[in-house]
Each structure stands twice: as structure tokens, then as C-alpha cells.
A and B are shown apart, each in its own frame.
Chain A
Amino acid sequence: MSCNRGTTVLHGYFDTELDALGAAEFESHLEQCFDCFNALEALESLRSSINIAQLYEKAPAPFRKKLLARLSSARPVVVFPARTPWRWIAVAAACLLVGYSGWRVIPVHRGGNYETVLAAEILDAHLRSLQPGHLTDVVSTDQHTVKPWFDGKLDFSPPVQDFTDQGFPLQGGRIDVVHGRSVAALVYARRKHFVNVFVWPTDEKDSAPRSGSQQGYQWIDWRKGGVEFCAMSDAAPSALEQLQRLFNE
């Protein structure tokens, strides 16, 4: 092009990237300059051949399907310090179970939503813990071993007691995540069942135990002395009530 105007102006005009003044100036130039006029036509012809050729390549359907499956498998349900794919399988299993069964939670005190979400998360955490190798991070029947293990891992010190004499031998503990925060999970045995007691600090005042059940799992939730407890197990409801009384003594 022999025109001494910069070609970037021509392209800027073609792409409607010039401001109003610049565009008006270039248009009055176009009326006199054949070079620029022809160059503009050439750009229009290039663009139309690109459009006709349909070069845009959309994501192929099988790839899209595969990717969506991949993304949903990477989707976390709750956040926890997982180290192995086993945990993800456990989460998936818990989701399926919860999704399949649907939740019926008795709404008490703070309204249904809190209860529903909490119970669902506790069940997830409970089921996850029952996967091989996930029940305890510290294995000990000694409360003086389990309690110090939590030091530095949590922003509070959970009350840890062994109730072997009362029929609930302490098995150990681990860190879990419930409701978006790290909690202590204390593991007790009750005959052939395991009981997970999830413990975290709360600002709410003390409350009497509330309980519910779903899918053969019982839960009981109570608050005492700035700490909220939620126990879950497939043991009998009376066993959880007994354990709750032991904690409150």
C-alpha cells in the first residue's frame, strides 16, 4: 500500500476500534485515497472468506461429555485433608447414598436448614470414616495420648475421655471437616459398632440433646460449655443417649 497513513489505522477502522473522531477523519481520508479504499475491500473479502470457510472448531461432543464427567468427579463435597483417591471414592459413595435416600431430619431449635446441612455433613463424614484406613489418625485407647495429639492441629482443645468402664472404649481420634471448619472426631467402640463424636467450639448457649435417624444411622447433637457435640453411629439410639450423658457428667 503506497498510502502514507499507518496501516494500523486502517485495521483499527475495520475493527471499529477507532474513537468517533478518528473514525470520522479516516472516512474523509477514504473518500480521496484509492489505496486505503482497496485495502479495506481486501480486508472485507478476507473476513468473508474466513467466515465462509467456517474455521471455528467447537469442542467435539464426546470430548465435552468426557470433560463434564471429569469436572463433576473433581467436585468436592466437603473439604478435608485427603491424601488418597480412596477418600474421593468414599465421598462419592456417601453422596450416592445420601442422594438416593433423601434426608428426613427433625427440625428443632435453630430451624430446619442448619439441622439438614449439619446432619448431611455428619453422615458424609461418618461414612467416610468407615472406609478402610480412615477411622482414626491417632490410634489409642488412652485419653492422655489422644487429647495431646490434637494440640496444634485445631484452634481449640477438645474434651477427650475414655469410657471403657461404661461400655464405650475410646479407639482414637482424627481431624475432620464439618460445616466448613476443622473439627475433632473422637472414635468410640460400642460392642461391634463404631461411634463418631464430632466436637467443635460454639458461641451458642447450652442445649438439650436433639436426635434423629436416617438409613439406620442415629445421630444426637447437643451443646455444653461452649462446645457442640454431634455423635453418629449405627448403634441403638439408647446407646447414643447413654454416651451423651457420659459426656455431660
Chain B
Amino acid sequence: MNSLVGKGSIVLDSQDQVRLETLVLPHLDAAFNLARWLLRNGADAEDVSQEAMLRAYRFFNGFHGGDVRAWLLQIVRNTCFTWLEKNRRVNDMAEFDEELHGTPGPTPESLAIAADSRGRLTHALESLPSRYREVIVLRELEGCSYKEIATITSIPVGTVMSRVSRARRQLQLTLADPANKEAIDEL
């Protein structure tokens, strides 16, 4: 990220700067929120959403109108997945999502989490595979249309429709029974 400043290669005229600041910065919350849920961690989300904003800044010359939020969230999403690839940890593996549900028996910690509905939902959402988690975040938290989700995730609208319905179904099943291994396998 430091190289961005060092190279001095960002070429924005003053008009572009104004456009950037008035169009892109209002979506900083959206950028952070998506990064936070994709990475499941606030501190990492700060690093990655900063990097995404700097990339948006850098490539703003190439933005020729359209949906700014979708354009920015596309950058955030790609930056998140690149980051996850690079910083692959046991907890970030997609496989972990499924193993998590296989953990038998409630622990005192999981019981405490379940008592609080926010914690319960957070836990359920974080335990979804990332392909499901992102469509839930974009649809339910960000209020994106299927078309916008299709743009952001680079998948066809038809696939978005079926993915949203599967993601919700899995979220419902996880909430109903956090250790529901059978339900996960079914999907």
C-alpha cells in the first residue's frame, strides 16, 4: 500500500478528486461493513477496506459513471478474497464453516452466545460459507438488488436468485439448531 504514495503514479485531475470525494467516500461504511463480514474481523476489515479505498482512488480514472456503490463494493470484495488467499489461516478456510457445525455439544461459551440474539445472528452469519455470507450481507444489510449483487459478485442474476434463497435457508437452519450438521450437508 505504501508503494501507492511512493510511486506518485496516481493521476487525477481536480475534477476527478471532487468526483471521488463526493461519490466514493459516502460509501465508506458500505465498504467497511462488507469487508468486516467477509473477513469476520474488524481489525482486518480496516486494513482491507483502506486498501480497497486506495485502489478505488487509484483506478477512479477508469470509472465512467454507473453505480458507484456497486463499483466500490466489487473492489472491496476482490480485495477481501485476495487478502483471504494471502492470509489463509485455519479459521478462514471455507471448510472450517462446515466443520464448525459438526462440533458436538453446547459449550458454556456457545450457550452464552445463544442467549444474546445479536451474538447468535453474528455467529450464524459468520459460520455460513463466504459465498452465502456475502449475498446475505449485500441483500439484508446493504439492501442491494439482485442486479447489484450480480455486478458486485460477477455472477449471473439467475445464480444470485438461487444463491440468496439457499443462503437464507442455511441461515434459518443454523439459527434453529447451530449444530445442525445434517442441514448443512443437505445444501
Contacts and interface: CB of A to CB of B under 8 A. Distances in A.
A82 B54 CA distance: 18
A53 B17 contact: no
Interface in B22-55: 25, 28-29, 31-33, 36-37, 42, 45-46, 49-50, 53-54
Interface in A11-63: 11-12, 15, 17, 42-43, 46-47, 49-50, 52-60, 63
Interface stretch (B63-71, B97-105, B167-175): B167-175
Contacts of B37: 55, 57
Nearest to B158: A8
A10 interface: yes
Contact of A71 (B11, B57, B122, B125): B57
A78 to B, nearest CB: 10
Interface string A230-243: 00000000000000
Interface in B61-90: none
B85 to A, nearest CB: 23
Interface in B98-147: 117-118, 121-122, 125, 139-141, 145-146
A75 B53 CA distance: 13
A12 B32 CA distance: 27
Nearest to A80: B8
Contacts of A87: 8
A84 interface: yes
Contact of A55 (B46, B122, B145): B122
Dominant secondary structure of chain A at its interface with chain B: helix
A46 B117 CA distance: 12
Contacts of A52: 117
A60 B42 contact: yes
A74 interface: yes
A80 B10 CA distance: 10
Contact of A67 (B11, B53, B169): B53
Contacts of A43: 168
8 contacts: A8-B165, A11-B165, A12-B161, A46-B171, A57-B45, A59-B29, A64-B28, A180-B13
B33 A15 contact: no
A50 B141 contact: yes
